[in-house]
Amino acid sequence: MIDIYRSNDGERDMMNEFHACHNVREEEVTIKTKTVFGEVYTYAEPKKEGSWAFGGNILFTSNGIHPKFNTPIKLHDRNMRLEGKSYADR
């Protein structure tokens, strides 16, 4: 399991895919890279189809079983399809 680090409010933010989770399995996320202003930016997203943005969560583990996550990686799990909807509509 890979730990999710977040601010105190992160567990209550239902727009984040993994809002109630303390960790994820490696199979649930994919690591991606892109170039931003000439620098390589590495991040993770849920494997589930969606429109994802950074929601304030970080993935990290010191467990050697998951070496890709031995360096903190920003988790883009904020579901932008829910942006602008009220919580009652979900």
From the CB of residue 72, how many other CB atoms can be counted at a distance below 10 Å?
A: 12
Domain assignment of residue 36, given as a range = 2-89
Q: pTM of this prediction?
A: 0.82
Answer for the pair 2, 66: CB distance below 8 angstroms, yes or no: yes
- The total domain count for the chain is 1
Single out the residue of 44, 49, 52 nearest to residue 16, CA to CA: 52
pLDDT band at 15 (very low <50, low <70, confident <90, very high): confident
From the CB of residue 90, how many other CB atoms can be counted at a distance below 10 Å?
A: 9
β-strands 52-53, 39-46 pairing: unpaired
pLDDT, tens only, 17-66: 998 889 999 999 999 999 999 999 999 999 999 999 998 899 999 888 88
